[in-house]
Structure 1
């Protein structure tokens, strides 16, 4: 399954979204557990056999909490 990543600007800063599948299909939106990021929490699940089943009917959007993506820069103190 093909994955793309896109930063989305919000009033709280940039949020990284990992997108799997055709954006014209119905969306499934995920949000990771505390202390993880979307890649660690869902990457394996959606990149292998199970992901192909979902990809037939859905587009998956894995949303990272601000600053939780891989190699994120520390938040400013303010």
Structure 2
């Protein structure tokens, strides 16, 4: 489950998302779609489904790969 404020690390980037960088989940649209906040205060719409977590870039006619993410797991302090 994705919640507002969750942290996602980019596992496969492109010119818009940097591999290894952590991004914050913004508003939740529904169970499948949500916003990922970027540095300039803007956001991109992301999807979480059986394929994983990603921002689809198919509108760019295949010239750019999708950006893929995984949820950052918080470490418990002892």
Bin the TM-score by the shorter chain. Answer: under 0.3
More strand by proportion, 1 or 2?
2
More helix by proportion, 1 or 2?
1
Q: Which has the larger radius of gyration?
A: 1
Q: TM-score, normalised by structure 2?
A: 0.26
Name the structure, 1 or 2, with higher relative contact order (CA <8 Å, separation 6+).
1
